Structure 1
Amino acid sequence: MKDVAEAANVSVSAASKILRGDRSRFGEETCRRVVEASERLGWRRNLLVSGIQTGRTNTVGVMIPPYDSFWVKVLSGIHKRLGEADFLPITLWLGDLDHLPHFEANEQEGVRQINRLLDRRVDALILWPTFAVAYQEHLAGLAEKNVPVVVIDHRSDEPYGDSVATNESQATRAVAKHLLDLGHRRIACISSRESKSQTWALERRRNFERAISLKSEAEVRSWRLNRTGDNGVEVATHLLTDDFRPTAVFAVTDHEAHCVYEAAITLGLSIPGDLSVVGFADLDFAATMMPPLSTVRQRPQEIGERAASLLIDRLDGPLAGEPFVHSEIEADFVLRESTGPAPA
């Protein structure tokens, strides 16, 4: 900085202010000389020092794993929006990808990982549902310390931050209407574990059940996976051989829909001749399943961008000091070849 000031023939204090963006009190020619000198000499701002001076690091802890194509696109949206606002995302998750569904088994490790970011003075956090549960139960008091939080796909009875989710009611109504219009009246729903971190699954299933129940002659029954979520094919087999004998199945994610496909093949059922199947998420494998899966296409890129925008607005914009916001993103029904008229 001293070298830049000398080359531009200004004081060190003036050079520092100009390079921090505080240029209102200096002439255009002075600012030009300082900027040109800094570029010529290769000056770079010391963000550690800046953070000490301002109390801000312009870093955001993003605690979301690249679990599947949905979350990869959510991450893409977050990184895009944060980059536009000159925030640096620090992405962190727990364990390896093979064990992510069992996060609750080591919640204390999740708390430790959150604290790793807080100890590095990130300005805010974006959390996926299982990290949100750990934060809520152990660290929510930090909201009083001006560490804004945005949670994706998780609802809390007592909000401790902003949240972003898919509009489950709108999406499941579209699925229900599609199946009912095809004449299906015995419809099964296969849900995920519905653990305390999976409020999205509970909400998705309940909204679907509510939409089907509006048709008086239609009936819906629901099954869900076990605590660890590793018995999807077993549950699918059970629901397909139950006395209820559904003609259509709605799966709360494409992962469960894949399990229904496996069970149907084993039982000799054709899709969609004997059984219609609808998934949710439009994951990267949905279009290549045999037959291609009808599903709900979420908008993960938009969800990620919205989450980052909420944080930025909470830190520097119109949401500062305002009540927490819950933002819902619309979804789109994608018709493919896994659904057809109800069999006689």
Structure 2
Amino acid sequence: MSSSRSFVKRPSRASGTPTVADVAQRAGVSAMTVSRALNEPWRVREETRSAVMRAVDALRYVPNAAARRLAGSREIRFGLLLNDLGAGFLSAVLMGCMSAASRNHVQILMEDADASGDPLIGTANLIAAKVDGVILPPPLGEDARVIALLDGAKIPMVALTASMPDARTLAVHIDDDRAAEAMTRHLLSLGHRRIAFVGGAARSSASVQRLDGYRRALASAGIASDPGMVMEGDFTYPSGLEAAERLFASDQPPTAVFACNDDMAAAVIAVAHRLGLDVPADVAVCGFDDTVLATAIWPQLTTIRQPLVDMTKEAVSMLLEQVSTPGGLAADRRHRVFEYELIRRQSDAAPRRRPTHGLPETQS
């Protein structure tokens, strides 16, 4: 009796290096679609591109750079203008840039805007390097001088996390106003009524929008905004330390602190610990961004998650499409708004029902 066996074609990496055909077979698309997903991702639907990239990762497929050069494709170079973003934010931006650059065969040139104390010097260096586009983290994406210099050189740019971006820039952000309102409402739902806010840089539209959301949530609960409960920071850990010192020295300290990013929230927790305050029993502390720092401290931080890695990847993709499409991106595609999420961990709880610093008991 003869037996029949069916044979399944295996990826060629069993006998050599995986090919575009192998990726196409695994992803269930054509080889042409694979090529477009890798070289011109803006021409492929998001779900198709994701399927191709999963296949690329599974097969460990590496595009043939030599073949690309022979085909006449020019490597695109983007500039990344950096400043003091905070360790967590910077880490996410770099991860997003490197991942997108590797997959799209883009070279990233980095310039430190803080090295000289003048971001225009770093901007001028990127222009001199003849980059094809520039990624501007906050607050550089709203610096009128930087934008004017790049616009004058006809270099496209994308602003990260700019809630009210300049018309000359592409932009990737979340709805900061609604996100901050959601976090403030969350603290109100726990019973907090003295909720402090630590803002970011005054020139940052994201910080302005978050303050608006905080104030609107208080107003909706019938609570007047107390100027003594609003501190200006600059998104850095030291500014969070200073704000926390002032808040906890108040005759009527807050029972909850909402900081405009995770770095400042971590600083608030550090000051609370030094003063012998229990977080969250004596004071709840919440942040914004959900960077790696949020789970690297104790207690782990309740925060608003904005997907910074994915947002940075999208910024690179938008720049690619802008420089590769005649006429650039259509007006309705120049801004991309990502979804946010409130992530609850261990740094928030209902206020403790006991006197604090001579105050009457907090009512939940």
Using the size of structure 1 for normalisation, the TM-score is: 0.72
Matched, 1:313 2:332: no
Cα 1:91/1:252, change in 2 over 3 Å: same
Q: 1:71 pairs with 69, 79, 90, which one?
A: 90
Match of 1:278 in 2: 286
Cα 1:222/1:139, change in 2 over 3 Å: closer
Structure 2 residue identity aligned to 1:203: Q
Cα 1:317/1:80, change in 2 over 3 Å: farther
Matched, 1:121 2:140: no
Match of 1:60 in 2: 78
Cα 1:262/1:67, change in 2 over 3 Å: closer
Cα 1:69/1:259, change in 2 over 3 Å: closer
Tell me, in whole angstroms, the C-alpha distance in 2 between the residues paired with 1:333 and 1:166. 13
Residues 39-87 of structure 1 deviation map (CA, whole Å, 9 limit, x = unaligned) = 9xx888489xx69xxxx75211122368523322222223323333332
Match of 2:113 in 1: 94
Residues 76-121 of structure 1 deviation map (CA, whole Å, 9 limit, x = unaligned) = 223323333332222222356xxxxxx8xx22xx222222222222
Q: 1:202 pairs with 196, 200, 208, which one?
A: 208
Give the conservation status (yes or no) of the 8 Å contact 1:71–1:300.
no
Matched, 1:233 2:251: no
Q: 1:213 pairs with 205, 210, 219, which one?
A: 219
Give the conservation status (yes or no) of the 8 Å contact 1:70–1:283.
yes
Shift of 1:340: 1.0
Alpha carbon RMSD of aligned pairs, Å?
A: 3.2
Using the size of structure 2 for normalisation, the TM-score is: 0.68
Matched, 1:85 2:104: yes
Give the conservation status (yes or no) of the 8 Å contact 2:160–2:315.
yes
Secondary structure of the 1:279 match is strand
Tell me, in whole angstroms, the C-alpha distance in 2 between the residues paired with 1:228 and 1:217. 29
Match of 1:291 in 2: 299
| Most deviating of 74-83 and 223-232 | 223-232
Tell me, in whole angstroms, the C-alpha distance in 2 between the residues paired with 1:318 and 1:204. 36
Tell me, in whole angstroms, the C-alpha distance in 2 between the residues paired with 1:169 and 1:195. 15
Q: 2:160 pairs with 145, 149, 152, which one?
A: 152
Higher alpha-carbon Rg: 1
Cα 1:59/1:138, change in 2 over 3 Å: closer
Structure 2 residue identity aligned to 1:116: N
- Number of matched pairs: 286
Secondary structure of the 2:253 match is coil
Q: Which runs of no fewer than 5 residues in structure 1 stay unpaired? A: 1-38, 97-102
Cα 1:44/1:126, change in 2 over 3 Å: closer
Shift of 1:311: 0.8
Match of 1:223 in 2: 231
Give the conservation status (yes or no) of the 8 Å contact 2:80–2:136.
yes
Match of 1:260 in 2: 268
Structure 1 moving runs of 4+ over 6 Å: 226-229
